[in-house]
Every structure is written in C-alpha cells, then in structure tokens.
Amino acid sequence: MRYSFKNFEFDSDSLVLRQSGQSLAIRHNEAKVLTLLLGQTDKVFSKEEILSLVWQDKVVSEQAVFQNISHLRSLFGNGAIKTFPKRGYQWQLAVEELSTATQITPQKSSATTVTASPTSLANTFPSKTQRKIKGYWPYALLATIMLIVIIAINFQNKPAIENKVALKKIAYIPISSAQDGDNFTLADNEHFDFTALNNITTDEFHNNLELTYPELAKIHPLILTAQMRRHNQHSYIDFIVKGPSGDWQGQLSGVSSKEVIEKLQKHLQQQVIYDLLNTAQAPELKQANLSIAHQKSPNDLIILGALINVYIMMDELEKAMVMADKLAKISAQQGNWQQLGNALLFQSKVLTQKDLYELSSHKLTTAISYFEQIGDLKRQADAWFAHSWLDHQEDNYPAIKDSLLRSADLSFKANDIPRELDALTYLSILAYKHSKAGDKYLYLQQAENKMKSYQLPIYHFAKIPFHYAFFAKTPSDKEPHWKQVLEYTKLTPDHWVAQSSRKALMRHFIKQNRLSEAKVLIANVTTDNAENSYLRALLAQAMLDAKLFNHHAQRTFEQARLAGETRQSLDVALLLCSEPNTQVNYDFYSQYIQDNANKYWRRDNKEKLLALNF
C-alpha cells in the first residue's frame, strides 16, 4: 500500500519513503512502525502492541519504541504522532491511500503471428535469422565464462581490500609495568596501525587529561593507555582507549605479559568499540549495538560489562542484574576473579539503586575479597568508595570515614591520583552532610595540599572553591566561589565543575534579574553541547524570547538524548512543559518525564512537578 501525506509518499510494501519525489533514509524498524500507524490512523497503539508487531519475538526495551517514534517525529514534525498518556501513540496527519497497481500495456509486435500445425513446424528449416542467432551462442558462452572469472578474481581480492579499509589507527603511550618500570611496545599488524607517543607517560596523560587530550586528538583521536602488573605468577593489564565521544576501558589477565598483550589486541579488533568511541550514541542505540556485539562474542566479558553499564544507565535494573549474574557465572567457570569482582560491583550498584542496602553491602564485601586475591588496588578503592554511600544511608559517619580513607589509601598505593582526590573531596562532602565541621575542611584542605604536591594543572584546583560553594548557605555567599571555579577553568570550560558552576550562576543571575551578567556567562562559550544549549534556553526564557527559547530548549533535548544525559533531558523536558508555548508538544515531553524520571530526579524537582500537576 502507498500512502501520501503532506509532501511525503510512503510505500509500506517496499518500506521506501519519499519527500517531493526524492528518497529519504529511514531505518527498517522506523518504517515498520510507520506502516503500523498509517495502516490504522484511527487507533491508539500501545507500546506493547508496537513491540509485539514490529519486533515480534526479539527482546528489546520500551525505549526502542520511544526512539523510533522520536525519529519519525523529527522527520514529519512533532504533531504527526500524538502521545496518549498511559495509552500509546496515534497518527495525526491527513493521509491519502494510493493505488499500488501498475497498468500493463501490451507490447505491440511488428512480427506477423503465424499459426502452424505441429507437423509443419517439425518440418520447417531454420530461417536465416534463426541461423544468425544460433551463431552467436559460442560468443555469448565465452563472454559469460570471462565474466565469471573476473567476478571470482574480484571476490578473492575483496577480503584484502576490506582489511585495508578496516585498519584501525591507534596512538598509544608505551605500556608500563607497575613493578619494574619496563615498557611494552605494540607492533603494527594486519588489524592495527599503532603510533607510539614516547614523549608522555600514562600518569602525565591522565593527570593532565583535560588539557592534553584535546591537543593530541587533533592528530591522534584514539589514544590507548595501559598499565601492566604481575601478581602470583599472573600478568594483569588495566587499559583505557580515549576517543572523541567517550572512553572504552577494561581489564585482562594471563600467565604472561605476552599473552595479555595478545588478548588486548584481539579484544580491540571489534568494530563496536570504535563506533562508540568515534560517534555519540543515544543509550538505546548503545544498548542495541552492544547486544549485537555480545551475541557475536559471548565470551568477551569486557563487552558484557559495557552492556550491563548501559542497562544501569537506562535504569533497566532487572536486565542489568540478569546480565551481571551471567557475567558472574561465566567468570566463575573461567576462574576469572577480576571479572567476577566486576560482576559483584555491578550487582551492588543495581541493589543500591533498588534500596537493598544490606544485600549491596554483602556484594561489595565479596568483591573486595576477589580483588584482594589478584592485587587489584584500583577496584578495591572503587568498592570502598561505593561502600561509603551505604554507610551514609545507615547514618554511620565513622564507617563513612573509614571507607573513604581506605579508598584514598588504596588509590595512593596504586598511584592513581584522580581516584585518591575523589575519595578525599567526597569525604569532605559527606562530613558536611553529617555536620562534621572540622572534617569537612580538614579533608578538603588535604585534597588541596595533595594537588600542590603533585603539581597538577589549575583546573584540578577548581574543585576546592566548588566545594566551598556547596558549604555556603545562600546563593549570594556561593557566588564568589562559583566565579573562582570559572576563573580556574578558563582553559577547560567543559570540565564538569565549570559546567555546574556556570549553570548555578546563570540561575542566580536570572533570579536577581542581572541579565547582562547572565549574557556574559555564555558569550565566549563555543562548545555546542546540551549543557550550553540549556543555558541559552534559560536566558532566552528570561528575556521572553519564545522563539529562541523553543529553539535552544529542543536543541538541548536532542543533544542530551544523544549523549545519554538522562537528567539533563528531563530538566529541559520539564522546562518545556512549564512554558505556555503552542509550538511545544506538551504531551510528548510530559510522557517522556513519566517514562524516564527516577525517584531521585522526582525528589529534586518535587515542587516544579506539583506546580504542573504531574
């Protein structure tokens, strides 16, 4: 069936979409959803019906429906598909059904039709034309054979060409050994084109990451760093690949350094890693790509761990727990204590989000025991850091202090400066929350002294005034500290403390009607991301520019969804719902909030939600 609406035409049989006669790119599942909606425009389709009819027996989340509906709305406009809260989706535009029948006109033949009996046909000699055609057969046969040979040659050469195209270019800092300081190099092969960065160490790279990576990425967008260590006759490697759109990290082990390096190179051959590192992807797309990669490589436990992480990020905790159980089972069967400990960390994270603190604590304790067996100080530090939150839920400050000081000490022994500083500054925050005035300043001062002794770049020091702003009672008291954060992060304006402080100052200036100062905040901000688009939306709203507000707010939502920043997308969806603008699809954004807001976000925005009768 062919359908026509606005200046679009859609063929539900071939799943081809055209606009003004030109073909448009549309994904297969989007086309199937469109077929469903156009086939019954008077019906409201529930998410369950769409999942059943489009994806059939495949296991996908409800977010897949939302993502496909969102893409269709981006093509046809928000008004094309209406959301009915708690019911589903319905097509809204006027549709005309077109006939798909094609009229066939018989070909006229110049030849005269002759009727003959079987006897006469049998006795008829071939005509001159027939003899001429018959003479072409040897040549046609020869041409066919030549064509087959050419195709065969091209087919044999195709893998070599594909391998050449698929060559992965990675820069790397020579891999160091934690015990003896030896460096390991990586040799080019049929899969990789490696470039060694010999003028920088792994520690220097990570301690100066916000400054160093942007400069190196101009030539080397993908940078591998790793550290090797030996423990109980086994080699362990802890690696990170930094890319334009994120990081890919994992741990591997083997009986020798050579075996571990081979495992690392085998793991890094998988294309999904580079798709994620080079291109920003919405959580649903990440989940789909990682699910496919896991099906292709079910024994690659790093990919399985990444899939679990995405499920947690999407708040699909049951699926995350199922996969974490799977990771634990496979790891136990392989005797892989590293990945078994990681599985327990994932399980603890899920249980904590479900408020099952006692079970979560048990998982962390077990994880620590496995990490101790293999001498993994960094993961021990992570586990104690996570345990401090459980101690906080029990209102047990001495336990909080013990957990975070253990985390800081383990990080120090592992020579992991960022982890050590995170533990100390978090202890300062929790000391404040538990009214321990002495400790909140003591551990913040310790963190600052560590930064000085490590000679870290100035953007690290921005965390100090950021925490002082947290301690201050009123926005006016916080203001000078926020400004100092921005002063310290002039060279790194996209650092998270800079973004948070800029947002706080923007709200503060708008509330005090200091709009000229609010404009200055984003005058020189050039990065096009969700955080900065949100600030522009807030300013446009304060200046009563409805058109500009709508543009920046919708841009924020798109960028936040693509980056997987659920909290940011919820914030701007709530902002759009609070604005009486006829161009805003209120149903769409309110449904998004209903479907995606967790209890923590709802708690933080309780008053705004009540004001909108959510």
Instruction: Tell me if 169 sits within 8 A of 245, measured CB to CB.
Output: no
**pLDDT greater than 60 at residue 102:** no
Residue 148's pLDDT band (boundaries 50, 70, 90)? Answer: low
**Residue reference for tokens 């999904």:** 272
Give the pairing of strands 96-98 and 2-5: antiparallel
Note the pLDDT tens digit of each residue in 535-583. Answer: 999 999 999 999 999 999 999 999 998 888 999 999 999 999 988 765 6
Note the pLDDT tens digit of each residue in 414-426. Answer: 999 999 999 999 9
Model's pTM, two decimal places? 0.73
Other beta carbons less than 10 A from residue 513's beta carbon: 9
Note the pLDDT tens digit of each residue in 33-85. Answer: 999 999 999 999 988 888 888 887 666 666 678 778 877 887 888 788 888 76
Average pLDDT over residues 10-28: 83
Percentage of residues in the chain with pLDDT exceeding 90?
Answer: 65
Of 392, 421, 396, nearest in space to 409 by CA: 421
Give the DSSP letter of residue 126.
P
| Dist CA 264 CA 278 (whole Å) | 19
More confident residue, 585 or 581: 585
Amino acid at 105: T
Note the pLDDT tens digit of each residue in 499-549. Answer: 999 999 999 999 999 999 999 999 989 999 999 999 999 999 999 999 999
Average pLDDT over residues 295-302: 96
Cα-flanking dihedrals φ and ψ of residue 176, to 5°?
Answer: -100, 155
More confident residue, 338 or 76: 338
**pLDDT greater than 80 at residue 227:** yes
Q: What is the pLDDT, as a whole number, of residue 110? A: 36
Average pLDDT over residues 474-484: 97
More confident residue, 319 or 140: 319
Instruction: Tell me if 569 sits within 8 A of 538, measured CB to CB.
Output: no
Number of alpha carbons in the 13 Å side-chain half-sphere of residue 360: 21
Out of 52-56, 133-137, 342-346, least confident range: 133-137
| Dist CA 166 CA 37 (whole Å) | 39
Q: What is the pLDDT, as a whole number, of residue 155? A: 46
**pLDDT greater than 50 at residue 115:** no
| Dist CA 479 CA 343 (whole Å) | 42
Other beta carbons less than 10 A from residue 193's beta carbon: 11
